[in-house]
Amino acid sequence: MAMGNKYGTHRVIEPAGAMPQAAQRLDNDMSKVYDNEILVDVLALNIDSASFTQIEDEAKGDVEKIKQTILGIVSSRGKQQNPVTGSGGMLIGKVARIGSALASRDLKVGDKIASLVSLSLTPLNIKRIIKVHPEIDRVEVEAQAILFESGIYAKLPTDMDEGLALAALDVAGAPAQAAKLVRPGMSVLVLGAGGKSGVLCCYEAMKRVGPTGRVIAAIHSERSRKTLLDLGVAHEIVVADATKPLEVREAVLAANRGAEVDLCINCVNIQGAEMSSILPVRDEGTVYFFSMATSFTRAALGAEGIGKDVNMIIGNGYTKDHAEITLWELRENPKLRKLFEEQYVK
């Protein structure tokens, strides 16, 4: 077979010249595998939290409607990219074929891997959906997918359940970015602290702020409070609605001794939380939007509208060594690992 473009543009059907993530439609014909592609037999999809929440809400929780929505998206777009949120997720599967140009990689047919690139740019063909797990945003499938030459992946570790590894790798970009952003003495706010990415970010922040720093976990309801207290991943826990910026700011200032925070990490999975991320942060502080429910137009114009000079970082799901950093967190903290095993492994 011929060589394809390193970044996968040879699979773009429309619009011409687009990158795979921005494309409206990809070629998901799995009968042809280019010499610099990897064919994967897909076992499960972890749908991006913002995307799954939107699909589930639209389906009113009906599992059959959720299945039909996902099948419809993949059928029309050749990839799992929610047209409302624009986000995808990631997959777990077995390597079925390796293009001849990639034969030198540390990978062989039969290896079980997790993709570390978004489903929003991954050619995907679903034969059938076996089961939906709404509580963990996971879909068991019989399907195939293509990883491009530039695509990154992780071989699943042998010292933990594959479901556990998948749950962590699904949000690996967030705690790894937290590890880069948090410094000793900082005050850090984590919005959506009760979810997977939020808990991991809190844990990473607590490791790095030191004795003079402060980590504030913001949760939507009291349900997550005991979990966070048991884990010891925050100095303060506040309950506030992330879609109500003034409410969040008031709660955060009260928890931070009247001061604005240095850094906010947004891990919520709903729309409308941009200003709750920006408002409690000091001038020249930083806001990291990991949530794919974020409107960067609202964030930019909202910050301008209130005269906030803050650094805003788009939630790139990749940062160097993010898979290794995140899996290590589960290895070094038995309580955190137990939480993930109980809540996210099926």
Tokens of 224: 């997550």
Where, residue-wise, is CATH 3.40.50.720 in the chain? Answer: 173-340
Which residues are paired to 218 by β-bridges? 191, 238
What pLDDT digit, counting tens, does each position of 169-215 carry? 888 899 999 999 999 999 999 999 999 999 999 999 999 999 999 99
Q: Counting Cβ atoms within 10 Å, is residue 37 exposed (0-12), middle (13-18) or buried (19+)? A: buried
What pLDDT digit, counting tens, does each position of 85-131 carry? 999 999 999 999 999 999 878 899 999 999 999 999 999 999 999 99
Average pLDDT for the chain: 94
pLDDT band at 167 (very low <50, low <70, confident <90, very high): confident
Assigned fold of 173-340: Rossmann fold (3.40.50)
> HEC states along the chain?
CCCCCCCCHHHEEECCCCCCCCCCEECCCCCCCCCCEEEEEEEEEEECHHHHHHHHHHCCCCHHHHHHHHHHHHHHHCCCCCCCCCCCEEEEEEEEEECHHHCCCCCCCCCEEEECCCHHHCCEEEEEEEEEEHHHCEEEEEEEEEEECCCCEEECCCCCCHHHHHHHHCCCHHHHHHHHHCCCCCEEEEECCCCHHHHHHHHHHHHHHCCCCEEEEEECCHHHHHHHHHHCCCCEEEECCCCCHHHHHHHHHHHCCCCCEEEEEECCCCCCCHHHHHCCEEEEEEEEECCCCCCHHHHHHHHHHCCCCCEEEECCCCCCCHHHHHHHHHHHCHHHHHHHHHHHCC
CA dist 206 and 101 (Å) reads: 44
Q: What pTM did the predictor assign?
A: 0.84
Backbone conformation region of residue 231, classed left if phi is above 0, alpha if psi is from -120 to 50, else beta: alpha
Higher pLDDT, 125 or 322: 125
Contact 48, 89 (CB under 8 A): yes
- Report, as an integer, the average pLDDT of 307-322: 89
CA dist 191 and 219 (Å) reads: 7
Contact 116, 323 (CB under 8 A): yes
